Structures are given as structure tokens and as C-alpha cells.
């Protein structure tokens, strides 16, 4: 069985996540109210999921984003 991670991401951040290897698996009316402001992203690559704008050693968001 393979491991994967799911995360809701706002529409404006979707391209940044896709550039790192995340895939959009849910977007639109079938998601209820979540689809109005976000899409459901899936990380199925090897290792821990990567996120844009995070300082790797701390997991904290950079202040410039």
C-alpha cells in the first residue's frame, strides 16, 4: 500500500504546489463550499511532501509570502 498526503490549497497557491509535484484531485462543485476557495491537492511522490514558502529546517512560513 502506498502512502499519500492530502491538503486543501487556495486557488492562487495551486500553481506553486503543482510546480513541486502536487496534483489537484478535487476542484469545483463536488467539493461543496471548499471548492469556492480551494482545491484538494495530493502528494504521492516519494518522501515527505514539499510545500512552497516553507523554511525546510523549521517548517515555518517565510515572512515574505
Question: Across the beta sheet with 38-43, what order do the strands follow?
Answer: 5-10, 38-43, 23-26
**Total domains present in the chain:** 1
Three-state DSSP class for 10? strand
Range of the domain at 19: 5-43
Instruction: Please give the model's pTM, rounded to 2 decimal places.
Output: 0.70
- 61 secondary structure, DSSP code: B
| C-alpha dihedral, 22 to 24 to 26 to 27, nearest 10° | 130
In a domain, 51, yes or no: no
Kindly report, residue by residue over 4-63, the tens digit of the pLDDT. Answer: 899 999 999 999 999 999 999 987 766 666 667 889 999 988 888 888 876 655 555 555
| Helix residue ranges per DSSP H, the chain | 14-19, 34-37
In a domain, 25, yes or no: yes
Amino acid at each position: 500500500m502506498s502512502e499519500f498526503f492530502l491538503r486543501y490549497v487556495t486557488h492562487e497557491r495551486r500553481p506553486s504546489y503543482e510546480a513541486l509535484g502536487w496534483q489537484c484531485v478535487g476542484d469545483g462543485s463536488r467539493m461543496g463550499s471548499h471548492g469556492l476557495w480551494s482545491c484538494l491537492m495530493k502528494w504521492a511522490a516519494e518522501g515527505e511532501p514539499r510545500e512552497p514558502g516553507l523554511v525546510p529546517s523549521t517548517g515555518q512560513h517565510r515572512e515574505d509570502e
